[in-house]
Structure 1
Amino acid sequence: MKLLKYAMLSFLALSCFACSDDDESAIKNDMIKKTVSPAIAGEKIEFAYAMGTTNGRISKAEAVASIAGAAGTGFELNSWFTAQTGMDVNGVHYGAGEDVPIQTVKDASTDGNTSIANMMEKVDAHYINPTIAVGTSQTDLIAATLRYNYVVPEEAKGKTFSITFTGISSTGDRVSYRTPDYKISKMDMKRLIELENEGACYFSIEDMKAYTKEEVNAQNLSGKIDFIYNYQDKLNGFDYAHSFVSPATDPKFIAISGIVPSGATNNTPMEQRANVHDAQLKGSNPAVYVDDIDFETLDLNGAMNYILNLKKDDSAFMKTADGKWAAYVYVNNVDGSGKMTISLKRYPL
């Protein structure tokens, strides 16, 4: 039992045993959902599933998803422990406090809704008991915390999903944990789209893509263009810089004469937000996210159809003129040569 206590210590710092289907069983389990961002199609949702036994060793873990995940769903081969001091493992140096990988899964597979991890029989004893030096001995695998990744499938948009985890010991003891139901977003997301002044500056929210004027004309896309990226340092004496204009914007706010393609007439309401830094689009903390509710409650009545002088980390909410889509556009980067990198979330209205 002392070894089991050591093995589960790091996991118990985050959670405690609960939800076992047999409190008298020798095998116990627990789970945390590590990903806190909205569940969007194509994105990975990470879980940590812990199991440990006082009878025999752990031999297998299963995860059954209520909706089959997309490619990439399944268990990872490595578990992780936190280095107490600096150490070298498999030729890599890890400092104190860093996570160190150790293989605890012999092989893993996913078929439809079900993922299986067959466990190693023995692991480095340090993983079970950190007082034992790394590389000095092996011991039976009596406890492990596994990483399980669920990749949200396209067909699950707007639905809920859950995962039922099961741990099985070498003596046949079983324990299960069913997660709560998690909502899957209706949003789509696309990151790091390059815009260029008088180049790929014509943007379609429906397509989540920037086009050149030649592409707009050749593919008859004028009716799909929701905003145009303009760059000019000054316009009529005021700061203009990196700006978005809808095709229907008053020409006095459009810096480049003739940039609106023939037939492009969409009047796209847009509202600048200076302090909304979505972590999924920004790629870093703080863990603040634009979610479905932000679009469901979005009110752009009275919004302008242009935004001027955008800077890095600015953002904007928009709605397409036909009322089919709302979008949140985040400015990842700008430069002084008339280029901008954006990411966006799109929501069906």
Structure 2
Amino acid sequence: MKRKSIYFNYIFSLVVVLLFAVGCTKNKEYAIPTPKDVLQNNVIKRTLGPNIVGQKIEFAYAMAILPEKGKLVSAEVEASISGATGTFLENKSYYTDGGGVDVGIQVGSASVTTATKTKVTFTKDTSAATLRYYYVIPEEARGKTVSFTFSAKSSDGESVSYNVGPYTIAKMDMTRNITVSDGNLAYLSIADMAAYNATTAASSPDKIDLVYLYRNLTTSAFNHALVSPAADVAYLPGITLPTGVNRSTKIIKVFNLQDFNLAQLQYGIYIDDLDFLQIDFSTAPNYAINLKLDAGAWVETADGKYRAYIYMNAVNNTTKSATISMKRYTLK
């Protein structure tokens, strides 16, 4: 016996609106379209910005068939490149309640991934659903493109598919929430995308590109700073560098560039691969002082191998520390 809950009826109405375009003019009264009597589907990509290795691309896959014709049997997604661990097709169908909150109702078994394919088998008697697909971008896809084929089957023997893509996968890397502290985790490696103390820095001096320090000076606005080890000693007051730490890194300080991926706030600015290639470092200094919350710095390493954008997520004058996030692009 078919389960005709109000939730599934509501979901079906939403999917119908999604799947069927409505033509109207100022002189014609709006009318809900009459759904076709065949299995229908559609896909929306929910995530924005660059597609970065290790991050997720999220899709919403809607499918529907008239209740009198049958019910949904299965839904499947095939990627042109196998997703990394954590890739899955959610077995809940979502609708948005009156308060704008997404509500999920389980309609199938947990998804099963085999190579490039991820599948959900429906366990509830429903004729409409919107499932979410999360694709974790693998290292194999870096700098390439990836496409997806969504498909569904219904109990009356119908099948339908929807192709999306190709989507370009960025060459850049990203890491977030690195803690740096004056006199401790003060030595920053762009190659490793990590901060080290003096002992660790001395063991790999060729990897250290920047020194983080905080100084509350009365003669100048120094505060939080990222300084090249080879900078004038005036920009490294009180610092004794570990043996061999001597690289000259180019730095461009910027404000009001709150990258959405790094800031993780409401900002909608995205730094993409092309941005790293367009920055002109020809006259850049090798220090950036007076860095504040939400400030940032473009960086090019001494060997010309990497460019990076470093964002100040948090600063603490009392503990002389900061939290930074970084996007990095490999030039060679």
Q: Is the TM value for this pair above 0.5?
A: yes
Task: Give the equivalent residue in structure 2 for 1:98.
Answer: 101
AA of the residue aligned to 1:348: T
Unaligned runs of at least 5 residues, structure 2: 1-5, 22-34
Give the drift of 1:215: 1.2
Q: Deviations over 1:167-212 (max 9, x none)?
A: 1001110010000200000011100000010101101100101110
Please give the secondary structure, in 1, of the residue aligned with 2:200: helix
Give the drift of 1:265: 1.8
AA of the residue aligned to 2:38: A
Task: Give the equivalent residue in structure 2 for 1:232.
Answer: 215
**Same amino acid, percent of matched pairs:** 40
- Of 34, 38, 42, which aligns to 2:46? 34
Task: Give the equivalent residue in structure 2 for 1:128.
Answer: none
Give the drift of 1:16: 4.2
- Of 281, 284, 298, which aligns to 2:279? 298
Output the CA distance in 2 between the equivalents of 1:36 and 1:261.
42
Q: Deviations over 1:322-348 (max 9, x none)?
A: 011100100000001210100001101
1:83 aligns with 2:97: yes
- Of 162, 165, 169, which aligns to 1:180? 165
The 8 Å contact of residues 299 and 309 in structure 2, kept in 1 or not, is answered as: yes
Output the CA distance in 2 between the equivalents of 1:153 and 1:99.
28
Distance 1:301 1:8, change over 3 A: farther
Output the CA distance in 2 between the equivalents of 1:32 and 1:167.
15
Output the CA distance in 1 between the equivalents of 2:329 and 2:275.
10
1:327 aligns with 2:293: no
RMSD of aligned alpha carbons:
1.9
1:123-142 equivalent positions in 2, closer than 5 A: 141-142=126-127
The 8 Å contact of residues 239 and 309 in structure 1, kept in 2 or not, is answered as: yes
Q: TM-score, normalised by structure 2?
A: 0.89
Output the CA distance in 1 between the equivalents of 2:9 and 2:108.
20
Please give the secondary structure, in 1, of the residue aligned with 2:268: coil
The 8 Å contact of residues 317 and 326 in structure 1, kept in 2 or not, is answered as: yes
Unaligned runs of at least 5 residues, structure 1: 85-95, 123-140
Q: Deviations over 1:64-123 (max 9, x none)?
A: 000000011121121211223xxxxxxxxxxx332212112223111110000101233x
Output the CA distance in 2 between the equivalents of 1:277 and 1:226.
23
The 8 Å contact of residues 57 and 121 in structure 1, kept in 2 or not, is answered as: no
Task: Name segments (4+ residues, structure 1) moved above 6 Å.
Answer: none
Q: Deviations over 1:122-153 (max 9, x none)?
A: 3xxxxxxxxxxxxxxxxxx0000000000000
Please give the secondary structure, in 2, of the residue aligned with 1:252: helix
